[in-house]
Structure formats: structure tokens, C-alpha cells
């Protein structure tokens, strides 16, 4: 297909040899009436991820633009998109980390059609399906804000509740690289919000520019992993208290740059409760200090006290129910 590239798909890979074929096939299976490109970045994976990318790049030279690193950039705190931005030339940007994948061959067409018909919108997201490392339905807790959203225009109330208008693989956005003023604002905010999850800060940035739409369709799969390149995978096991204090402050700052007041009341209270619960379980002095730091940073003391009481009671009740279920199962199985 000739003509200007309508969509540039940014794909980020690291140690994804088990999943990257599924991710690339999901993008390459798209049925659309426009031209798209894939820019896939491998961050010096020690496995065979780069070899698989080479295989696909040789097979689809007109679609796939590979970028290979010889040294891992993430570990040096370098933003991967720095290497990708100048190659992302499409009118719109889509994303897919290579442990996730798209599961609807009409995903891009649906999203492009919406943005083309609604030029006052800058982005569109959709629901995702949570899967585990083996590709089966994820059995843990999944956020309703990513999996059960109705079609609607994303609201300030949702943003203030620390919600995003879709997981990274669900997003299609206007390419900030093609609009100088937009690009400048984006880089200023990205550099300032270094502690915030990149998905969260990007979601907020686009919402602050103009309207964002959410589709109810499930068109991508989000893999919950304990290894890989995703933010959540690399942060597994880390107490987020100190980082959360900084990230909330940065996101509030971003809102102020565009005349929007963000409070994150619920998220501040949740942060304190999580730090308190974590400390009570570990009895570790370092975790006590993190809890005290979170408590001191929280501007909503009274609200937090009610939150701790009710959610503490809920937490203990759920824990007791879980223990009771295990005991019943043990009795029934004769153990």
C-alpha cells in the first residue's frame, strides 16, 4: 500500500522471545485501508528476541523498522522512546509492549475511523483482556477501569481517581512529533514526571490536551508477567511508597501547567493504607519509615483515617474469609 503512513506502531521489547511472535502477528494481521509501519525496539535482550525481530524485519521490510541496542538503556534510566521518536512518522501513534498483543484484526481501523471523524479528540482507548504468562485468563484481581469500561468520553473525575483511559496496548493517539508546540509540551512533561509510571503520565498528558474517547470493545490482551520490560513487571516486589509520593506530586504539577486542578484524594489515602498494611506484615523498620513518609506527604489526614478504618476492616475480613475457605477445602480433601 502506497501513500503517507497513517499509523506508526511503537513496539518495545526486552527478553520477549516467548511472546514477541504473538505481538508482531497481532499487528501484522490488521485489516485497514491505510498504510502503517512498525518501529520495534530491542533493549539489548540477552535471549533470542533480537533474532526474531530480524526474521520478521527481513520478511516485512516495507513495514517493520527495527532498532537494536548493544547496551541496555532502561537500566541506565534512558527513555526508550528517545530512540524511536524520529522514526515514528505516522499521523497517529499506537503502542504494544511485546509481552502484550492485539486480538482484534480491525482494531486500528476502528480507532483511526473514530479520530478521523472527530478531529476534536486527540486519543482513543479501549478495554483489554488480562492474561497470565501462559496466555490463559488471569485469575487475580483485574481493574474494572481497564476491562469493563463502557463507551464514553473520559472525564476529569476518572483522571482524579488515578484512572487511565486504557492500557498502553489499547491506545491510539495523535502523533505529538508532527506538531511542534505539542511535541515541546510533551517532552517538558515527560522529563518532569520521571517518577510516575510512563503509562499514567502519558494518559494524563493526552487528556489534558483535548478530549479522549474510550471504546467498550476488547481489542488487546495485557499479560501479567514477573519478567520482561513492562513497568509493572520490573517493579514487582518493590514497595512503591517513596516513588508514589513523588509521582503524585509530578502529576499534580502537570495538571497545573494546563489549568487543571488534580487532588488525587483517593490515591493519597490508598498510598498511606498500602504502606501501613505492608509495614504491619513485614514488621521491618525500613517499611515503617516509608509508611511515616507517606503519612506525612498525605494532605488529607481526616479522609485517610476513615479510609484506613473501613478498608482495614475490609482487608481483615477478606483475609479471614480466605483463611476459612482454605480450612474448609482442607477438611473436605481430608488433609
Question: Per-residue pLDDT tens for 194-209?
Answer: 888 888 999 999 999 9
Instruction: Measure the CA–CA gap between 261 and 241, rounded to whole angstroms.
Output: 23
CA neighbor of 161 nearest in space, from 145, 182, 172: 145
Check pLDDT > 60 for residue 1: no
Contact 9, 15 (CB under 8 A): no
Nearest to 270 by CA among 243, 238, 295: 295
Residues 6+ apart with CB under 8 A from 190: 79, 198, 201, 202, 205
Architecture of domain 5-229: Alpha-Beta Complex (3.90)
Q: Where are the domains of the chain?
A: 5-229, 248-332
Q: What is the pLDDT of residue 90?
A: 95
Confidence of residue 187 (pLDDT cuts 50, 70, 90): confident
Note the pTM of the prediction, 2 decimals: 0.84
CB 299 within 8 A of CB 261: no
Average pLDDT across the chain, whole number: 88
> Of 31-45, 156-170, 172-186, which has the strongest mean pLDDT?
31-45
Q: How confident is the model at residue 237 (pLDDT cuts 50, 70, 90)?
A: very low
Quick check: 334 pLDDT over 70? no
Mean pLDDT of 139-157: 88
Tell me, what's the pLDDT at 335?
53
Q: Is the pLDDT of residue 136 over 60?
A: yes
What dihedral angle (degrees, nearest 10) is formed by the CA atoms of 14, 19, 24, 26? -140
Q: What average pLDDT does range 183-190 have in this prediction?
A: 88
pLDDT of 235 over the 60 cut:
no
Cα distances (Å, whole numbers) of residue 77 to 82, 190, 244, 245: 11, 13, 18, 19
- Tell whether the model's pLDDT for residue 228 goes beyond 60: no
Cα distances from 253 to residues 54, 67, 190, 256, in angstroms, run 42, 33, 12, 5
- What pLDDT is stored for residue 2 in this prediction? 61
pLDDT at residue 180, as a whole number = 83
Band the pLDDT of 275: cuts 50, 70, 90.
Answer: confident
Amino acid at each position: 500500500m502506497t501513500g503517507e503512513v497513517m499509523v506508526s506502531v511503537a513496539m518495545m521489547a526486552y527478553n520477549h522471545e516467548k511472546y514477541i511472535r504473538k505481538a508482531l502477528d497481532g499487528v501484522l494481521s490488521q485489516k485497514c485501508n491505510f498504510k502503517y509501519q512498525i518501529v520495534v525496539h530491542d533493549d539489548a535482550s540477552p535471549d533470542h528476541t533480537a533474532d526474531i525481530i530480524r526474521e520478521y524485519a527481513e520478511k516485512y521490510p516495507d513495514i517493520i523498522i527495527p532498532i537494536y541496542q548493544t547496551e541496555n538503556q532502561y537500566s541506565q534510566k534512558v527513555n526508550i522512546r528517545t530512540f524511536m521518536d524520529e522514526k515514528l512518522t505516522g499521523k497517529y501513534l499506537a503502542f504494544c509492549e511485546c509481552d502484550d498483543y492485539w486480538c482484534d484484526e480491525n482494531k486500528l481501523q476502528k480507532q483511526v475511523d473514530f479520530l478521523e471523524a472527530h478531529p476534536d479528540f486527540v486519543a482513543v482507548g479501549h478495554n483489554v483482556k488480562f492474561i497470565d504468562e501462559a496466555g490463559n485468563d488471569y485469575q487475580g484481581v483485574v481493574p474494572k477501569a481497564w476491562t469493563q469500561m463502557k463507551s464514553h468520553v473520559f472525564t476529569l473525575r476518572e483522571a482524579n481517581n488515578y484512572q487511565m483511559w486504557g492500557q498502553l496496548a489499547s491506545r491510539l493517539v495523535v502523533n505529538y512529533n508532527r506538531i511542534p508546540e505539542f511535541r515541546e509540551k510533551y517532552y517538558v512533561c515527560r522529563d518532569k514526571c520521571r517518577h510516575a509510571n510512563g503509562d499514567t503520565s502519558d494518559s494524563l498528558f493526552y487528556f489534558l490536551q483535548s478530549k479522549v474517547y474510550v471504546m467498550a470493545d476488547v481489542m488487546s490482551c495485557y499479560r501479567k508477567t514477573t519478567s520482561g520490560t513492562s513497568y509493572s513487571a520490573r517493579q514487582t516486589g518493590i514497595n512503591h511508597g517513596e516513588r508514589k509520593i513523588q509521582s503524585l506530586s509530578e502529576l499534580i504539577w502537570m495538571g497545573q501547567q494546563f489549568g487543571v486542578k488534580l487532588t488525587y484524594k483517593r490515591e493519597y489515602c490508598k498510598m498511606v493504607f498500602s504502606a501501613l498494611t505492608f509495614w504491619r506484615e513485614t514488621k521491618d523498620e525500613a517499611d515503617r519509615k516509608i509508611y511515616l513518609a507517606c503519612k506525612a506527604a498525605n494532605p488529607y489526614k481526616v479522609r485517610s483515617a476513615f479510609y484506613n478504618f473501613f478498608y482495614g476492616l475490609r482487608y481483615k475480613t477478606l483475609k479471614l474469609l480466605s483463611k476459612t475457605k482454605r480450612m474448609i477445602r482442607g477438611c473436605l480433601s481430608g488433609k
